[in-house]
Amino acid sequence: MGYFSSFLICHMYFRHRFVSSGSVVLDQLFPNTAWCAIVAYSRFVLLYHTPHQVKWGLGIGMVLGVSHYVCTELLPTKFPDSVFGRIRSAIVNHPVSVWLRLRDGWGVWEDGGREAEWKQWRIEWLKQHAHLAGKKTT
pLDDT in tens, 81-138: 999 999 999 999 999 999 999 888 877 777 777 788 888 988 998 888 887 666 554 4
Threshold 0.75, pTM exceeds: no
Domain membership of residue 114 (yes or no) is yes
Domain membership of residue 138 (yes or no) is no
Least reliable range by pLDDT among 10-14, 52-56, 126-130: 10-14
Q: Determine the structural domain holding residue 113 and report its residue range.
A: 2-133
Domain membership of residue 28 (yes or no) is yes
Mean pLDDT, range 56-80, rounded to an integer: 93
pLDDT at 71: 94
Q: Is the pLDDT of residue 39 over 60?
A: yes
Q: Is the pLDDT of residue 2 over 80?
A: yes
Domain membership of residue 98 (yes or no) is yes
pLDDT at 134: 62
Q: How confident is the model at residue 28 (pLDDT cuts 50, 70, 90)?
A: low
User: How many domains are contained in the chain?
Assistant: 1
Contact 31, 89 (CB under 8 A): no
